Amino acid sequence: MPILMIIENEINTDFPSHDKGLNGLKGRLMPILKMASDICETTTSLIYMHEDSDIRILASNGINKEPVVTAVKKISGMLDLDEGLSIIQNVRDHKRVTTLLSDLEIDNVQFYAGVPIRNESGTKIGALCICDSNPRNLLDVQKNNLGVMAGAAEAHIMLFKEKELSNKNSRELKIKSAFLNNSTELTFLLEPNFGNIRDVSYDVEKVLGYSPDVLRGKSFTEIAELNGVVVDTIEQWFLTGNLQKGHYSTSVRLIDHQNRKRWFQCEFSADKNHWYVTARDINKKKVAQQGVRDLKVKLKKVVSVAKDLIYKLDWASGNLSWGDELTDVLGYPHTEKFVDYDWWIDKIHPEDLERVIRDVAQTVEGESQKAKLVYRIRTFDGPYKYVMNRIYVDRHEDGTPKNIIGAIVDVTEVVKLEEQSRRNEKSLEEKETLLAEVHHRVKNNLAMVSGMLQLQIYTETDERVQQKLIASTERIQTMATIHELLYNSSSFENLRIDENIEKIISSLVSTYEESLDMHVSFDMEPVKLNINEALPCSLIVNEVITNVLKYAFSDGGTGLLDISLIEEDETVTLKIRDDGKGLPDDFDPEGNGSSLGMELIQTLTKQLKGENLYTSLDRGVEFMLAFDKSNEKDVGFILE
């Protein structure tokens, strides 16, 4: 599902719409307007609001003619209400007003009074007005009461605006939170000006090892490698003036909780209140690129110590003379040291000839003094060599070419190495693509097998067979989580087993939610295993948890599960503790044919070259599994 759709689904839609809220405000203002008309004995009362340069009627009482509306707008636009109550007792006597109004408007509005409505900062935002088709005077008590009515209207309007702003802020916050939770990349929400982290997607703990709470409030540049250029550039982006200037992109090395640095491609974008940063892991690509650059540096060093073949070409006559290295580099005898331009052109590979002639001509005819060409040239023995030709144009005082002085060096081995490097890089990309496809198909096949077993469960009438099929489905799902872990891991030798254990247990517990209220607590260190250890360990967890849910809490109710995982001196210890019924009197940890699950636990423990132990507690049972991590590098796995 697209992120925007997810965001819309997650946002609470109980905020009142603007139109609905505005109608409610009008309903609360109407009694005030009617009372103002009654107290002042006028036919019409209304409230208008300033919106930029426009005047908008917010609510009205007694208006049934268009000339009244237009007249009030014109008068309100002219009068200055900043000093308080403004009254025009007879519009016909007010010269400025009569020049603005038509005769029809004057007939409908001959009396006008207005009291300003202000916001919390004291700025005028509108007015409460009364008007009548006849001239009149207002008593002091009427004027005072009109001010009270304006104050009541002002309170309702400001309360409406506060709620509207609060609802808008709440919605923006929910949108940002949903965006962070549903982003497929590492995503930061930053405050403007200083770039402090306001929120971050929960994947940050998996990727960089920080909990979101640890990062909130920190500057984004605190977790970026402090090389001056990049950090100074990012800090410039965070300046208020740059907030609305669009989109920025750069490569940044982010520092994880163990002070390790990894490359991320960071995309910076802003709205009026926040910066958004999405970070995509490009560390593998950067390391590969750095390897290519290092190779090129080495190759340049090789070229720099090689022997150059020097030549001089008289541009006007076309006479070409070679240095003594002609024989060493290209194999031609010294008798061919003095030749012409056509001799050189004749030796260039046909596929490179047009390009070389064009580049030489552009250099000579242009203003540049130097050029560097790489092409193939035929040797005396017949085969072609790749050469690098660095040329320098010696010009007359008027800028016309005089001589071309150049140096040629054999770079055949350099070009071959670069081509091999490009082939290796392409091969690596193809293998990574193939590996991703293999994992994808394995997951699909496991899902298909699991689905077939589930269909069999629904059609099977024998309850014992049903239970065996369910157990088999859970074991397949456990193996599928391992493949998911493999797919997300860069190495078969460093799989985070703690993450996999949590997924397995959460999945199994969720299947018993209707009959059992289970509370699960995890206290696990980040332990990395290779595939030979991760798969049997995960299957053991599957069997133990399945037995606990089936037998320790067979009567339903509530239960507790505590899972701990530690690694000390290359020894991994897993403990699973429950507060259920405890072990039965006839409990046999070896299984001995009575329980496939118990036999699997013992077989898999032996495969890990470890040991397990069941211990009865005052309430419940503790299962302990301990094994030493292996140094084997192969990634095959066979269930014995």
Question: Rounded to whole angstroms, what are the CA distances from 253 to 239, 260, 569, 616?
Answer: 22, 9, 32, 51
Q: How far apart are CA 509 and CA 518, in angstroms?
A: 7
Tokens representing 515 are: 């009959």
Is the pLDDT reported for residue 563 higher than 90?
Answer: yes
**pLDDT tens digits for range 80-106:** 656 678 889 999 988 888 888 898 988
Name every residue whose Cβ is closer than 8 Å to that of residue 113 and which is 6 or more positions away in sequence. Answer: 40, 85, 86, 87, 88, 129, 130, 131, 138, 146
Q: pLDDT tier at 2 (50, 70, 90 boundaries)? A: very low
Q: CA torsion, points 250, 253, 254, 258, in degrees to nearest 10?
A: 180
DSSP H helical segments within 316-411, as ranges? 326-330, 341-347, 350-365
pLDDT at 296: 63
Nearest to 384 by CA among 415, 358, 361: 415
Kindly state the DSSP code that residue 221 receives in the 8-state scheme.
G
Is the pLDDT reported for residue 300 higher than 80?
Answer: no
Nearest to 392 by CA among 384, 402, 383: 402
Is the pLDDT reported for residue 469 higher than 50?
Answer: yes
Q: Which helix (H) or strand (E) holds 282?
A: none
pLDDT at 121: 78
**pLDDT tens digits for range 393-402:** 888 888 888 8
352 contacts 340 by C-beta, under 8 angstroms? no
HSE-CB at 611 with a 13 A cutoff on CA atoms is: 1
| Low-confidence winner among 3-17, 29-43, 427-441 (lowest mean pLDDT) | 3-17
Q: How many CB atoms lie under 10 A from the CB of residue 379?
A: 15
Tokens representing 227 are: 């090389």
Q: pLDDT tier at 303 (50, 70, 90 boundaries)? A: very low
Is the pLDDT reported for residue 405 higher than 80?
Answer: yes
Q: Which helix (H) or strand (E) holds 395?
A: strand 384-395
Q: pLDDT tier at 635 (50, 70, 90 boundaries)? A: very low
Q: How far apart are CA 221 and CA 194, in angstroms?
A: 9
Nearest to 601 by CA among 537, 521, 516: 537
Q: Which residue has the tokens 């010696």?
A: 394
Average pLDDT over residues 577-599: 79
Q: How far apart are CA 522 and CA 565, in angstroms?
A: 8
DSSP H helical segments within 253-406, as ranges? 283-304, 326-330, 341-347, 350-365
Question: Rounded to whole angstroms, what are the CA distances from 145 to 45, 55, 120, 132, 151?
Answer: 14, 25, 22, 18, 10
538 contacts 481 by C-beta, under 8 angstroms? yes
| Low-confidence winner among 211-215, 221-225, 314-318 (lowest mean pLDDT) | 221-225
Average pLDDT over residues 559-585: 91
| Low-confidence winner among 14-28, 242-256, 322-336, 549-563 (lowest mean pLDDT) | 14-28
Q: How many CB atoms lie under 10 A from the CB of residue 137?
A: 9
Is the pLDDT reported for residue 7 higher than 50?
Answer: no
Q: pLDDT tier at 135 (50, 70, 90 boundaries)? A: very high
pLDDT at 618: 87
195 contacts 234 by C-beta, under 8 angstroms? yes
Name every residue whose Cβ is closer than 8 Å to that of residue 396 and which is 6 or more positions away in sequence. Answer: 402
pLDDT at 5: 37
Most confident of 188-202, 292-306, 454-468, 562-576: 562-576
188 contacts 179 by C-beta, under 8 angstroms? no
Q: Which residue has the tokens 């209304």?
A: 46
In the chain, DSSP finds a helix count (H) and a strand count (E) of 18, 23
Q: pLDDT tier at 407 (50, 70, 90 boundaries)? A: confident
pLDDT at 1: 36
End-to-end CA distance of the chain: 41
Nearest to 224 by CA among 241, 237, 243: 237
**pLDDT tens digits for range 32-73:** 889 988 989 998 888 888 776 677 888 888 877 788 888 888
Q: How far apart are CA 624 and CA 588, in angstroms?
A: 16
Tokens representing 550 are: 């089936």
Average pLDDT over residues 589-594: 66
Is the pLDDT reported for residue 224 higher than 80?
Answer: yes
| Low-confidence winner among 3-12, 333-342, 593-602 (lowest mean pLDDT) | 3-12
pLDDT at 640: 41
The DSSP bridge partners found for residue 431 are none
Is the pLDDT reported for residue 16 higher than 60?
Answer: no
Tokens representing 427 are: 């091969």
**pLDDT tens digits for range 234-280:** 777 776 556 656 678 888 888 888 888 888 888 888 776 778 888 88
Tokens representing 256 are: 């994880």
